[in-house]
């Protein structure tokens, strides 16, 4: 079987070609080919073409060039983006699209799913309440402080009106509501003791401050993209979840796969404008913007109560740094690290033993070679 492999270079195509050769297939390999080189290669008795590229646009262009010179030839193309994959399959009838993210996500998810969740400490209700009272984003914290401040003023004012001025409960509630809406204090306050008048003046001043905080937090929550919610499916899990550092195609598929397996996940992404940050909202995946190696960020996503952490950014060194920081934050945490170079995986595992190393190029290459030899 004659197979032509077109690639933009890198470890992925090396792993694919290595596996094909191990299976007794010697492919024709063109790295960063131009159109004339592709045309010449297709003039030979090639039966199948594989486009192995990390860039979806490069993969799309190479696939269309092949279809132009040899219409109807069997094509296997690596594409991450599902929209591009759909369009390519519609445009090229004999094209089979392979998603590398779908290939490697299960190998990354397996250790996370198998990891045992830490023992629960205290009541779940108290844990959930703690998450509500201390949300991740500053805007949400300002909103919560303002809300609880207004409620506290309302309750204290109502209690004092009943206890000191002997007002009926309904009148006390009405008077407290007047105070927190800054209309005026209850008229009976004028005949009360001096300390009660001073307290009433203080609560009115505090009401102005709390109302301003509540309004500011509410406006910020309405204007800014809400990547997490205070309660609901997009709230940050409190216990037994998986922390996914890096929300590229692999990270997004990993979060989705974990959700399908019944395990909550929270993603941490350094770039708030990354395309998948917006897509994560549709998947109802909570996203925290920040550096995964930041101990404060790890604390906010509750690394102390997480089931596992997966470092799956596009940088091997960043993933190793995240793994080391997570290990320092909690020594017993199950950690999965995405790497692209086998040497990096071996050296890191030997030096610090940070967790499960997954060479995604090796995994994807072996799987892709299997597709090519059996398609």
The residue with greater pLDDT, 201 or 94, is 94
Q: How confident is the model at residue 334 (pLDDT cuts 50, 70, 90)?
A: very high
What CATH number does the domain containing 89 carry? Answer: 3.40.50.280
Q: Which residues on adjacent β-strands are paired with residue 265?
A: 242
**From CA 366, how far away is CA 373, in angstroms rounded?**
11
The residue with greater pLDDT, 121 or 360, is 360
User: Residue 230 above 70 pLDDT?
Assistant: no
Question: For residue 119, what pLDDT is reported?
Answer: 67
Question: For residue 323, what pLDDT is reported?
Answer: 92
Q: Which of 178, 202, 223 is the last residue of a domain?
A: 223
Residue 373: inside a domain: no
> Based on the domain organization, do 279 and 300 belong to the same domain?
yes
> Based on the domain organization, do 17 and 71 belong to the same domain?
yes
> Based on the domain organization, do 63 and 153 belong to the same domain?
no
Residue 367: inside a domain: no
Structural domain containing residue 194? 138-223
For range 11-16, the mean pLDDT: 87
Residue 132: inside a domain: no
Structure tokens at 63: 């696939």
- List, edge to edge, every strand of the sheet that includes 334-339: 287-289, 265-269, 242-245, 308-311, 334-339, 356-359
> Based on the domain organization, do 333 and 245 belong to the same domain?
yes
> Based on the domain organization, do 213 and 164 belong to the same domain?
yes
User: What pLDDT digit, counting tens, does each position of 110-152 carry?
Assistant: 999 998 777 665 545 444 444 444 555 556 677 778 888 888 8
**From CA 358, how far away is CA 88, in angstroms rounded?**
29
The residue with greater pLDDT, 247 or 187, is 247
CA 258-352-311 angle, 5° bins: 25
Residue 363: inside a domain: no
Q: Which residues on adjacent β-strands are paired with residue 14?
A: none
Residue 353: inside a domain: no
Give the number of domains in the chain: 3
Residue 375: inside a domain: no
Kind plus residue range of the DSSP H or E element containing 310:
strand 308-311
Least confident of 213-227, 251-265, 293-307: 213-227
Question: For residue 126, what pLDDT is reported?
Answer: 47
**From CA 342, how far away is CA 323, in angstroms rounded?**
17
Residue 346: inside a domain: no
Q: How confident is the model at residue 225 (pLDDT cuts 50, 70, 90)?
A: low
> Based on the domain organization, do 43 and 85 belong to the same domain?
yes
The residue with greater pLDDT, 270 or 136, is 270
Question: For residue 153, what pLDDT is reported?
Answer: 85
Kind plus residue range of the DSSP H or E element containing 288:
strand 287-289
């Amino acid at each position: 079987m004659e197979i032509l492999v077109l690639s933009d270079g890198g470890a992925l195509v090396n792993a694919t070609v290595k596996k094909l050769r191990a299976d007794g297939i010697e492919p024709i390999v063109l790295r960063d080919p131009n159109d004339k080189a592709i045309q010449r290669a297709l003039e030979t008795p090639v039966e199948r073409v594989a486009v192995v590229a990390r860039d979806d646009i490069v993969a799309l262009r190479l696939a269309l060039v092949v279809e132009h010179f040899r219409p109807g030839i069997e094509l296997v193309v690596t594409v991450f983006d599902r929209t591009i994959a759909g369009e390519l399959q519609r445009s090229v009838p004999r094209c089979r699209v392979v998603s590398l993210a779908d290939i490697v996500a299960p190998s990354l998810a397996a250790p996370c799913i198998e990891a045992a969740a830490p023992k629960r400490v205290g009541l779940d209700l108290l844990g959930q309440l703690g998450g509500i009272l201390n949300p991740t984003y500053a805007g949400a914290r300002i909103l919560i402080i303002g809300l609880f401040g207004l409620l506290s003023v309302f309750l204290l004012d109502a209690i004092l009106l009943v206890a000191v001025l002997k007002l009926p409960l309904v009148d006390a509630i009405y008077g407290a509501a007047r105070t927190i809406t800054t209309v005026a204090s209850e008229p009976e306050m004028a005949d009360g003791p001096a300390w009660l008048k001073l307290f009433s003046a203080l609560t009115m001043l505090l009401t102005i401050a709390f109302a301003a905080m509540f309004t500011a937090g509410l406006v910020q929550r309405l204007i800014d993209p809400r990547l997490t919610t205070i309660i609901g499916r997009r709230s940050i899990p409190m216990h037994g979840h998986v922390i996914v550092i890096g929300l590229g195609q692999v990270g997004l598929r990993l979060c989705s796969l974990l959700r399908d397996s019944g395990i909550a996940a929270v993603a941490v992404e350094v770039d708030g404008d990354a395309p998948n940050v917006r897509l994560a909202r549709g998947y109802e995946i909570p996203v925290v913007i920040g550096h995964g190696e930041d101990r404060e960020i790890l604390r906010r996503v509750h690394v102390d109560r997480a089931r596992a952490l997966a470092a799956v950014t596009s940088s091997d060194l960043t993933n190793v740094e995240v793994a080391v920081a997570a290990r320092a934050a909690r020594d017993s945490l199950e950690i999965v690290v995405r790497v692209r170079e086998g040497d990096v995986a071996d050296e890191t595992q030997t030096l610090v033993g940070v967790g499960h190393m997954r060479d995604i190029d090796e995994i994807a290459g072996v799987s892709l070679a299997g597709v090519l030899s059996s398609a």
